[in-house]
Chains A and B, each alone.
Chain A
């Protein structure tokens, strides 16, 4: 749990305790803790361990993205996965909130996401003198078309392409792991059943027989 250790160290040093000897730091920390308002008692969900529940609760409380960053994420996520005749959109499935959580859980995504959003706003300003969310849908798509197709994108957009790939992948993770997304993709398992092999017509379609 090296990463967890470093997170802990981060908390201590951010409180200004890093230079103290450990025992003093502990004593100080306890004092500060006792001065903090009582917290809502930790609820440990079924199947989780206490340390995991503590970490999750802590991450939930933190905020990473700014309001305007989240607004951009929502617009992009819905460009990537819009509503169609079969299912709802990425934001209908709560994708922005998922992305907010996942970058706190996986800090390796933080700089690529924050920097990518910044890249996008700079590009928008250069072309249209406005940030991305203030563009018209057609203007947004003009930029997205330049970064959404990795094999055909111009080299000058390579950073935008890398960001859009990440955004596409996180959006898919966030969308297809919800009820809306699972119904869309057609996964019909995770329920007690009796397995007797693929349906007859499927075997027939591919030229197999039951055995």
Chain B
């Protein structure tokens, strides 16, 4: 696996992590001719290799019919890992909660993500200037726009030009037409004055090059596409990067520490442990790029202590680990009586929704500071574990086509008819919102606990504030408005103040960012505006750690753009002999 004779004594760059940020950096730097060592803590993964393929499998090919007993998103989901990893604990402080999702595999969490590829808008980089909370980014939309454009072209994203100020349009492939329930959502949106527009997902509805196929509409991007028609860092960035011959990919390499020179304070390489053989290794590199995820990159920096970097590498400001924030989340589903007894046809479509709701209101008129978008689900999907569950709560409420109302529950031929008439008559909606970054929400090194490799682990401290809780309350009000406009019946009960309006526990939305934030002032930020450490110029962080604030969007497209931007900066600095 690690053959010393084939490797240069010192790599130009060592990248830690192969998700969106690491994949993009590996791709750009290898294309530019740099010799790259790419460390991935998990195993090799190629969505086109039958060894790994779950796409197009049937539910009966899983003994638990796709239930989530061993994988949090079910047996067929392309994420190896989850909220808990054996032998790799994390802890909590002050009775708070933070759930940390880790994927240990080539491409990381991009193999199963929602492919929702939204650009941050001009306002999203300057929130402090708008509402006085948090901080502005040291860069603005215009700095990132050229990179968003390049990411759109390299990776591909569908959508429509809408000319909404804070939802910048991209270079779009054609979007898939709406499904039936999405037609209803569009109509309901018009009635409720809530915008419902084509979604923006990184799925190829048209060919963009000869390396990748086109979407064949199986709705299973969460299983990662064997035709490479969705964006997974494994298939779209890392595998092509390795093909340049400039990347030495080392799997099962769990980074332990960034090594630094005691005199200059600069990074000299990375020490890692082989997760399978438990052997110890060192990689020497002129530049070290962290892309291990906001949590893991903060952990690595904080664990890289030396006399030059007493509080950890890149942490003279003390901000590493602080300002951790995840998107807010709340959801509700509804039954649409007018969709009972539907005609059957294949409406799988792409993996995910064909329409969504971008943030549409003015926070100045609301009692909370930041916005959210709404994702929608529904349709005649493939049955899996849980199918038909809870029918006893519905089948007594709605008469059959010939007007008879049955008793709830039941059994037999009549029950079978009920499963058929209710199939595909539901919609789900999920709000994803922006939290206000907060210095009191953080991860730090637990002084007492190590993982099975002896690496000190993260300890989390996280509380939602009224800002986020009021936002979740508003989400639920919007859901009910939409459900009413749909002529639907909300399922379950609307959560109240006792449950903080159903706001998901921090970490559950898997958009955690902010732990190694960028800024112009080295006293209050760890990185400069090029994602380069203030304290060690040959150290970069290209995952969500660098974010000053997570917008009401999804972080991946911005991680990709900023990683590309940082890669350009590395190449330029090497050319100018600054690195």
Q: Tell me, in angstroms, the Cα distance from A198 to B66 when the chains sit together.
A: 27
The stretch among A15-23, A121-129, A165-173 that forms the contact with chain B is A165-173
Is the CB–CB distance between A182 and B383 below 8 Å?
yes
- Chain B nearest CB: distance from A70 CB in Å? 16
CB neighbours (8 Å) of A178 from chain B are 59-60
As a 0/1 sequence over residues 56 to 76 of chain B, the CB contacts with chain A under 8 angstroms (1 = contact) are 111111011111011100011
Is the CB–CB distance between B343 and A84 below 8 Å?
no
Closest A residue to B83 by beta carbon equals A1
Is the CB–CB distance between A177 and B65 below 8 Å?
yes
Q: Tell me, in angstroms, the Cα distance from A51 to B82 when the chains sit together.
A: 14
The stretch among A33-41, A61-69, A112-120, A147-155 that forms the contact with chain B is A147-155
Is the CB–CB distance between B411 and A79 below 8 Å?
yes
- Chain A nearest CB: distance from B527 CB in Å? 34
Is the CB–CB distance between B180 and A190 below 8 Å?
no
Q: Tell me, in angstroms, the Cα distance from A169 to B80 when the chains sit together.
A: 28
Closest A residue to B215 by beta carbon equals A195
**Would A151 and B65 be within 8 Å (CB), given that A185-B419, A190-B382 are in contact?**
no
- Chain B nearest CB: distance from A69 CB in Å? 19
Across chains A and B, the number of contacting residue pairs, with CB separation under 8 Å, is 201
Is the CB–CB distance between A176 and B183 below 8 Å?
no
As a 0/1 sequence over residues 343 to 364 of chain B, the CB contacts with chain A under 8 angstroms (1 = contact) are 1111111100000000000000
- State which of A151, A173, A193, A202 has its C-beta within 8 Å of the C-beta of B408: A151
Is the CB–CB distance between B218 and A172 below 8 Å?
no
Is the CB–CB distance between B389 and A177 below 8 Å?
no
CB neighbours (8 Å) of B409 from chain A are 148-151, 161, 164-165, 168
Q: Tell me, in angstroms, the Cα distance from A31 to B462 when the chains sit together.
A: 47
The reply on B399 being an interface residue by CB < 8 A is no
CB neighbours (8 Å) of B381 from chain A are 187, 189
Is the CB–CB distance between A98 and B65 below 8 Å?
yes
CB neighbours (8 Å) of B64 from chain A are 101-102, 105-106
- State which of B51, B84, B180, B387 has its C-beta within 8 Å of the C-beta of A206: B180
The reply on A30 being an interface residue by CB < 8 A is no
The reply on B340 being an interface residue by CB < 8 A is no
The reply on B407 being an interface residue by CB < 8 A is yes
The reply on A25 being an interface residue by CB < 8 A is no
Is the CB–CB distance between B180 and A176 below 8 Å?
no
Interface size classification for chain A: 35 or more
The reply on B192 being an interface residue by CB < 8 A is no
**Would A173 and B65 be within 8 Å (CB), given that A47-B76, A84-B413, A189-B382 are in contact?**
yes
The stretch among B135-143, B390-398, B549-557 that forms the contact with chain A is B390-398
**Would A196 and B67 be within 8 Å (CB), given that A176-B383, A186-B420, A189-B219 are in contact?**
no
The reply on B377 being an interface residue by CB < 8 A is no
CB neighbours (8 Å) of B396 from chain A are 151
As a 0/1 sequence over residues 190 to 211 of chain A, the CB contacts with chain B under 8 angstroms (1 = contact) are 1111111111011101101011
Q: Tell me, in angstroms, the Cα distance from A175 to B568 when the chains sit together.
A: 55
- Chain A nearest CB: distance from B89 CB in Å? 10
Is the CB–CB distance between A4 and B86 below 8 Å?
yes
- State which of A168, A196, A208 has its C-beta within 8 Å of the C-beta of B392: A168
Is the CB–CB distance between A148 and B419 below 8 Å?
no
- Chain B nearest CB: distance from A6 CB in Å? 12
Is the CB–CB distance between A190 and B218 below 8 Å?
yes
- State which of B53, B350, B389 has its C-beta within 8 Å of the C-beta of A195: B350
CB neighbours (8 Å) of A138 from chain B are none
The reply on B147 being an interface residue by CB < 8 A is no
The reply on B271 being an interface residue by CB < 8 A is no
**Would A193 and B67 be within 8 Å (CB), given that A177-B384, A185-B423 are in contact?**
no
CB neighbours (8 Å) of B453 from chain A are none
The reply on B412 being an interface residue by CB < 8 A is yes
**Would A46 and B217 be within 8 Å (CB), given that A4-B86, A185-B419, A185-B420 are in contact?**
no
Is the CB–CB distance between A177 and B387 below 8 Å?
yes
**Would A81 and B347 be within 8 Å (CB), given that A46-B53, A191-B56 are in contact?**
no
The reply on B216 being an interface residue by CB < 8 A is yes
Which residues of B does A touch, CB under 8 Å?
Answer: 50-54, 56-61, 63-67, 69-71, 75-76, 80, 84-86, 176-180, 183-184, 187, 216-220, 338, 342-350, 380-392, 396, 407-413, 415-416, 419-420, 423
Can you name 26 A-B pairs with beta carbons within 8 Å? Answer: A1-B84, A5-B86, A45-B61, A46-B54, A55-B70, A59-B63, A80-B412, A81-B415, A81-B416, A82-B412, A82-B413, A105-B63, A106-B67, A161-B409, A168-B409, A169-B390, A172-B419, A173-B65, A176-B387, A185-B423, A188-B345, A189-B347, A193-B346, A195-B348, A195-B350, A197-B179
